[in-house]
């Protein structure tokens, strides 16, 4: 357990150059106001069940979270309404104010007070319900009719040609027409963390089967396009809206096997991985470091007597933290670690480490593994943690396409030390394309909403103005729209460069390697 007061916090507090009490009184509106606030907080928080600590709601389902908030909110409301009776005149007003602001209320109901709008808006102003909008909003229809260019040609340009657009649409129709694939916006909103993950695994597995059969159903060449869409947040995002739990298996685990493994290693691992007989992830990020590879602390020490690497995460900061699919899904991982031979550090190398038994999915000896829990996003992806203690891995599990360790411990250097960065370079190129797709979604939502939302009258006899017609709104929207196109074509050019450079590297030409390393 951590000490009651962190030493760094204590040091900073002692070095404070002003009277903290006076600042508190200033912010509260006076010394008396501070005393009343503290008395009110003590009155509420001392009641049983009011304050339950940080994280009390984290693992609750949406329904349980709401039920708990209603119960606690009702109890807190009763206490607030009795504040004059318990604490003295004038306290009820202060109590109700604190009930509706996220200070005291936020400590009791950390994820939003369900009674807030009743007091803040309903009781303040009673309004009529807005009439339902027509099926096609008239403002959206007007904006679409006034378009000055051919929307189809722009679509073809972004897709890479008319044929590419037709193939994409056919692929989308094939997947989304299957029962249970597309469930509409908000289908995951009321699920618990566990149910969200389970549903995503089921739908992801079904979508994967459909993608692998795409050539058979739609014709030659469709499987490649299907697998690409499976791993990007376009079609996949419509089916699994909160992150694909198989994404790292295909984007990083398989990529490492292909780019860093020898032909023998690929023969052993690639087929099983492609058929999902095993599921892998990429466990690089640690609590202490992520992209700063030299700072990673995981060690792989070679034991020539058994021809094995002995893996350890020697301290808490070395624990692998955040890799997707690590928490529950994967039974293998590509693990970057510092290679030690006879006490000499040969730098960062990658290894295949078995995490869980294939028979029953239980953890292998020396491995402590689990899920890190709910996050702000991507909650269908089971990001996890991994601690290694004297975990033995066969020599053949080191990725040896570029660097090798011979049975006696002799180290064979790669042609270029940066070649081991290949997987992360690929992923960064892919991320540049994913960024475009996410920005496309965001800009589309913002533009459509700005077209249908009306706010304020300029002329008394005219209708309220569309938000998109405000110059200040255009200053926000139009640069974002332009950025989508700029990043789209930059990402496409980067992808072409990556393919050219990796092809030339396959022929032994490393002259253009810096282009992809530092793009």
**In the structure, what pLDDT confidence band is assigned to residue 422 with cuts at 50, 70 and 90?**
low
At 516 the pLDDT is 62
At 13 the pLDDT is 84
504 has a pLDDT exceeding 90: no
**In the structure, what pLDDT confidence band is assigned to residue 420 with cuts at 50, 70 and 90?**
low
2 has a pLDDT exceeding 70: no
At 515 the pLDDT is 66
The continuous run of DSSP H or E covering 487 comes out as helix 471-506
Name the packing angle between helices 91-99 and 62-81 (round to 10°). Answer: 170
**In the structure, what pLDDT confidence band is assigned to residue 130 with cuts at 50, 70 and 90?**
very low
At 140 the pLDDT is 92
The residue among 402, 392, 361 whose CA lies nearest residue 265 is: 402
At 379 the pLDDT is 87
Q: Which residue has the higher pLDDT, 250 or 501?
A: 250
Radius of gyration for the chain, computed over Cα atoms and rounded to the nearest angstrom: 29
26 has a pLDDT exceeding 80: yes
At 127 the pLDDT is 46
Query: What CA–CA distances, in Å, run from 160 to 29, 173, 226, 436?
Result: 62, 19, 16, 15
At 507 the pLDDT is 66
342 has a pLDDT exceeding 90: yes
* Three-state secondary structure call for residue 299: strand
Q: How far apart are CA 150 and CA 34, in angstroms?
A: 64
Domains contained in the chain, CATH given? 21-122 (1.10.540.10), 160-244 (no CATH), 250-414 (2.40.110.10), 425-517 (1.20.140.10)
263 has a pLDDT exceeding 90: yes
DSSP 375: -
At 517 the pLDDT is 59
Q: Which residue has the higher pLDDT, 28 or 264?
A: 264
Comparing 50-59, 169-178, 320-329, 416-425, the range with the smallest average pLDDT is 416-425
Q: Which residue has the higher pLDDT, 81 or 422?
A: 81
DSSP readout, 421-483?
GHHHHHHHHHHHHHHHHHHHHHHHHHHHHHHH-B---SSTTSPPPBGGGSHHHHHHHHHHHHH
Classify burial at 335, counting beta carbons within 10 Å of its beta carbon; exposed 0-12, middle 13-18, buried 19 or more: buried
The residue among 275, 228, 221, 267 whose CA lies nearest residue 247 is: 228
Give 212-259 pLDDT, tens digit per residue.
999 999 999 899 989 999 998 889 999 998 889 999 999 999 999 998
199 has a pLDDT exceeding 80: yes
Average pLDDT over residues 314-323: 96
Give 392-415 pLDDT, tens digit per residue.
999 999 999 989 999 999 999 987
Give 95-107 pLDDT, tens digit per residue.
888 888 888 888 8
Residue whose pair of structure tokens reads 């709401």 in the numeric block: 66
Are the CB atoms for 232 and 207 separated by under 8 Å? no
Give 354-381 pLDDT, tens digit per residue.
999 999 999 999 999 999 998 888 888 8
**In the structure, what pLDDT confidence band is assigned to residue 131 with cuts at 50, 70 and 90?**
very low
519 has a pLDDT exceeding 80: no
Are the CB atoms for 420 and 256 separated by under 8 Å? no
Average pLDDT over residues 7-19: 87
133 has a pLDDT exceeding 50: no
Alpha carbon 244 to its chain centroid, in Å, reads: 10
**In the structure, what pLDDT confidence band is assigned to residue 7 with cuts at 50, 70 and 90?**
confident
Indicate the average pLDDT of the chain: 89
1 has a pLDDT exceeding 90: no
At 174 the pLDDT is 95
Average pLDDT over residues 417-428: 72
Who contacts 24 (Cβ-Cβ below 8 Å, separation ≥6)? 34
The Cβ of residue 396 has, within 10 Å, a number of other Cβ atoms equal to 13
Q: Which residue has the higher pLDDT, 25 or 127?
A: 25
**In the structure, what pLDDT confidence band is assigned to residue 12 with cuts at 50, 70 and 90?**
confident
Q: How far apart are CA 328 and CA 40, in angstroms?
A: 44
At 10 the pLDDT is 84
The Cβ of residue 237 has, within 10 Å, a number of other Cβ atoms equal to 17
| Share above pLDDT 90 across residues of the chain, in percent, rounded to a whole number | 56
pTM for this predicted structure: 0.74
Average pLDDT over residues 464-476: 95
Are the CB atoms for 328 and 321 separated by under 8 Å? no
């Amino acid at each position: 357990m951590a000490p009651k007061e962190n030493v760094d916090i204590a040091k900073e507090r002692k070095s404070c150059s002003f009277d903290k009490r006076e600042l508190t009184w200033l912010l509260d509106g006076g010394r008396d106001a501070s005393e009343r606030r503290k008395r009110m907080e003590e009155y509420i928080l001392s009641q049983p069940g009011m304050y339950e600590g940080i994280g009390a709601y984290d693992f609750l389902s949406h329904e349980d979270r709401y039920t708990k908030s209603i119960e606690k909110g009702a109890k807190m409301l009763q206490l607030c309404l009795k504040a004059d009776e318990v604490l003295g005149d004038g306290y009820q007003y202060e109590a109700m104010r604190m009930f509706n602001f996220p200070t005291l209320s936020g400590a009791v109901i950390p994820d939003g007070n369900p009674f807030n709008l009743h007091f803040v808006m309903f009781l303040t102003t009673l309004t009529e319900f807005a009439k339902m909008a027509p099926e096609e909003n008239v403002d959206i229809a007007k904006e679409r009719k006034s378009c000055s260019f051919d929307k189809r040609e722009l679509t073809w340009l972004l897709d890479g040609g008319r044929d590419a657009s037709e193939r994409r649409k056919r692929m989308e129709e094939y997947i989304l027409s299957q029962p249970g694939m597309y469930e509409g916006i908000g289908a995951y909103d009321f699920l618990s963390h566990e149910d969200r993950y389970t549903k995503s695994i089921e739908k992801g597995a079904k979508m994967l089967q459909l993608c692998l059969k795409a050539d058979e159903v739609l014709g030659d060449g469709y499987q490649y396009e299907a697998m690409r869409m499976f791993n990007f947040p376009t079609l996949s995002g419509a089916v699994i809206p909160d992150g694909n739990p198989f994404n790292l298996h295909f984007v990083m685990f398989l990529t490492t096997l292909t780019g860093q493994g020898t032909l023998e290693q690929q023969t052993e691992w690639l087929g099983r991985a492609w058929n999902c007989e095993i599921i892998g992830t990429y466990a690089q990020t640690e609590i202490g470091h992520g992209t700063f590879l030299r700072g990673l602390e995981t060690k792989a020490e070679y034991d020539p007597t058994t021809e094995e690497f002995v893996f350890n995460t020697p301290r808490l900061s070395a624990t692998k933290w955040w890799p997707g699919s690590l928490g529950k899904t994967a039974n293998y991982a590509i693990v970057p670690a510092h290679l030690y031979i006879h006490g000499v550090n040969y730098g960062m190398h990658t290894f295949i480490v078995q995490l869980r038994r294939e028979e029953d999915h239980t953890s292998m000896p020396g491995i402590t593994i689990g899920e890190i829990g709910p996050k702000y996003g991507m909650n269908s992806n089971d990001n996890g943690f991994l601690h290694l203690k004297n975990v033995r891995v066969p020599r053949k599990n080191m990725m040896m396409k570029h660097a090798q360790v011979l049975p006696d411990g002799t180290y064979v250097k790669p042609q270029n030390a940066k070649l081991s960065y290949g997987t992360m370079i690929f992923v960064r190129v892919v991320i540049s394309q994913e960024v475009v797709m996410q920005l496309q979604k965001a800009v589309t939502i913002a533009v459509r909403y700005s077209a249908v939302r009306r706010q304020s009258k300029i002329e008394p006899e005219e209708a309220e103005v569309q938000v998109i017609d405000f110059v200040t709104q255009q200053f926000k929207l139009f640069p974002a729209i332009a950025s989508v196109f700029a990043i789209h074509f930059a990402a496409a050019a980067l992808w072409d460069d990556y393919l050219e450079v990796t092809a030339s590297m396959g022929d032994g030409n490393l002259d253009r390697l810096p282009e992809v390393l530092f793009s």
